[in-house]
Amino acid sequence: MNSSRMTVLLIALSLLLGGIAFTPTPAQAAAWISGADMFASDWVAKIEKELFKKEYRYVFANDPRAPQASILHLLNRAAKAQATQNETMARELAQEAVSVLEEGIRKHYYSAEDVEPILQAIKQHVPVKLS
């Protein structure tokens, strides 16, 4: 009887310590959540914050394309182009990012009113003139 209690106690202690040891801390988990440290410019990180605001969670629910990732990828490429003084390419890539949202409006994934604040944030933060 004493031996079985000791075994149960060791198993419980093992599970408890194992659970604590393998629980990720916010510092460990945060690296894959946001690409802010990988963006070529701070303005891309600002747009990322806007895209992933809580109020837009359901706006993109009907869009099977996952437009947030596409938009951030295009804007990051635009930031890299701008950093190399290629303003034309930066403008084209930023405009392509805007067109991802416009296509979602045309396909009725969301309305123009739903994404207008995001479009305004992009136009406000992108350092090149968009048409």
* CATH assignment of the domain containing 116: 1.20.1440
Number of domains in the chain: 1
pLDDT, average across residues 42-70: 91
Q: Which domain holds residue 97?
A: 36-125
Question: In this structure, is residue 50 part of a structural domain?
Answer: yes
Q: Which residues contact 108 (CB under 8 A, 6 or more apart)?
A: none
pTM, entire model: 0.70
Question: In this structure, is residue 77 part of a structural domain?
Answer: yes
Question: In this structure, is residue 1 part of a structural domain?
Answer: no
Question: In this structure, is residue 16 part of a structural domain?
Answer: no
Question: In this structure, is residue 120 part of a structural domain?
Answer: yes
Half-sphere exposure of 34 (CA within 13 A, CB side): 15
d(CA 65, CA 55): 19
d(CA 6, CA 103): 65
pLDDT at position 26 over 50? no
Question: In this structure, is residue 14 part of a structural domain?
Answer: no
Per-residue pLDDT reduced to its tens digit, 65-92: 889 999 999 999 999 999 999 999 999 9
Question: In this structure, is residue 20 part of a structural domain?
Answer: no
> What's the confidence (pLDDT) of residue 23?
54
